[in-house]
C-alpha cells in the first residue's frame, strides 16, 4: 500500500499561510500532477510530503503509516528537483550511489544497483563523468537515477524539466511515465506548465494561492473547469 493521504494540511511562514487546509488522496500507483502558478505553494506541499519541511497543522499518511513526524529518510519518498542538485565533485556513479553509501549498503551491491539503473536511464557510458561534463538532459537523468536507486515507494518531482529545451522535455516526459509504470511507484509531479500537466497526468490538481481549485482527469478539467481561475489557467472556454 503506497497511497498518500493528506488531511487538513496547513503551512505558515511567519504570518503568511502558504498552504491552506488542504485535503488530498492519491491512489497507489497513480501519477498525480499538481499544476499551479509560481508561488501558489506547490514546492512547499511537496517538501512537506518528503519531510523536508514540517507541517504547521494536519496529517500525512503514506500507505497505512502516519508519517507526519517521520524523518525524511524513513518515509520512502525520493524527490527530483528542477536544478538537479548533483554533487559537482562526484562522478555520475558516485552521485547515484551516494544515498546507498550513507545507508550502509556494501560496495559490491552499490555498483550492481548503479549499473542496473544506469542501463535503464541510458547512462551506462557516462558513469565516470563529472556533472559539468554532462548535458542538461543527462544531468536530470542522473538526478532521477539517484532518486530511483533506493527503490522509493513514492516519487516526488518538483518541476524537473523546466530547465530543459522543448525536445528533451518531451522525451523525458515519456521516460518519467515509463519509469513510474515499470517501478510501480506512486508519483506526484509538480509543474506550472499546462501542456505538461495535461499530457502526463492520470489525475491532476489545480492549485491557486495555497488551495486546491479542482481535482480531476485532464479531460474533466479541460471540459468542465470548476472555477473561473481554472478556466483562465487551463485556457479552456468557461
Among 39, 72, 106, 184, binds ligand ADP (CB under 6 A): 39
Among 2, 43, 95, 138, binds Mg ion (CB under 5 A): 43
Among 3, 18, 220, 226, binds ligand ADP (CB under 6 A): 18
* CB-nearer residue toward Mg ion: 43 or 140: 43
Q: Which does 41 bind (CB under 5 to 8 A by kind): ligand ADP, Mg ion, none?
A: ligand ADP
* CB-nearer residue toward Mg ion: 41 or 225: 41
Kindly indicate which of the ranges 40-48, 62-70, 103-111, 137-145 contains the residues binding ligand ADP, using the contact rule CB under 6 A. 40-48
Angle between helices 92-102 and 136-148 (to 10 degrees): 20
Q: Which does 191 bind (CB under 5 to 8 A by kind): ligand ADP, Mg ion, none?
A: none
Which is nearest to 49 in space by CA: 29, 37, 34? Answer: 34
209 class by beta-carbon count within 10 Å (0-12 exposed, 13-18 middle, 19+ buried): middle
What is the C-alpha to C-alpha distance for residues 9 and 148, in angstroms, rounded to an integer?
27
Least distance in angstroms from the C-beta of 52 to Mg ion: 12
Q: CB-based contacts of 159: which residues, under 8 Å, 6+ apart?
A: 81, 82, 190, 191, 192
What is the C-alpha to C-alpha distance for residues 211 and 10, in angstroms, rounded to an integer?
10
Our finding on whether 191 is near Mg ion (CB under 5 A) is no
Q: Which does 40 bind (CB under 5 to 8 A by kind): ligand ADP, Mg ion, none?
A: ligand ADP
For cell 503568511, the residue is 16
* CB-nearer residue toward ligand ADP: 147 or 205: 205
How are beta strands 57-62 and 65-66 bridged, if at all?
Answer: antiparallel
Q: Which residues lie near ligand ADP (CB under 6 A)? A: 13, 18, 36, 38-44
Amino acid at each position: 500500500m503506497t497511497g498518500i493521504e493528506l488531511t487538513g494540511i496547513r503551512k505558515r511562514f511567519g504570518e503568511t499561510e502558504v498552504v491552506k487546509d488542504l485535503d488530498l488522496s492519491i491512489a497507489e500507483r497513480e501519477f498525480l500532477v499538481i499544476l499551479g502558478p509560481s508561488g501558489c505553494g506547490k514546492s512547499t506541499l511537496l517538501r512537506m510530503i518528503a519531510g523536508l519541511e514540517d507541517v504547521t497543522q494536519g496529517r500525512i499518511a503514506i500507505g497505512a503509516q502516519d508519517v507526519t513526524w517521520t524523518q525524511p529518510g524513513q518515509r520512502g519518498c525520493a524527490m527530483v528537483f528542477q536544478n538537479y542538485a548533483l554533487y559537482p565533485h562526484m562522478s555520475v556513479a558516485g552521485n547515484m550511489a551516494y544515498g546507498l553509501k550513507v545507508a550502509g549498503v556494501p560496495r559490491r551491491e552499490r555498483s550492481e544497483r548503479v549499473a542496473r539503473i544506469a542501463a535503464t536511464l541510458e547512462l551506462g557510458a557516462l558513469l565516470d563523468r563529472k556533472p559539468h561534463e554532462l548535458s542538461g538532459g543527462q544531468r536530470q537523468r542522473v538526478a532521477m537515477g539517484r532518486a530511483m536507486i533506493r527503490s522509493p515507494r513514492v516519487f516526488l518531482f518538483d518541476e524537473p524539466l523546466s530547465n530543459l529545451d522543448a525536445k528533451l522535455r518531451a522525451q523525458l516526459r515519456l521516460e518519467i511515465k515509463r519509469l513510474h509504470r515499470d517501478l510501480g511507484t506512486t508519483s506526484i509531479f509538480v509543474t506550472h506548465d499546462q501542456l505538461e500537466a495535461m499530457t502526463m497526468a492520470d489525475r491532476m490538481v489545480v492549485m491557486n494561492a495555497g488551495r486546491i481549485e479542482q481535482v480531476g482527469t485532464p479531460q474533466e478539467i479541460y471540459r468542465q473547469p470548476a472555477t473561473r481561475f481554472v478556466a483562465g489557467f487551463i485556457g479552456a472556454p468557461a
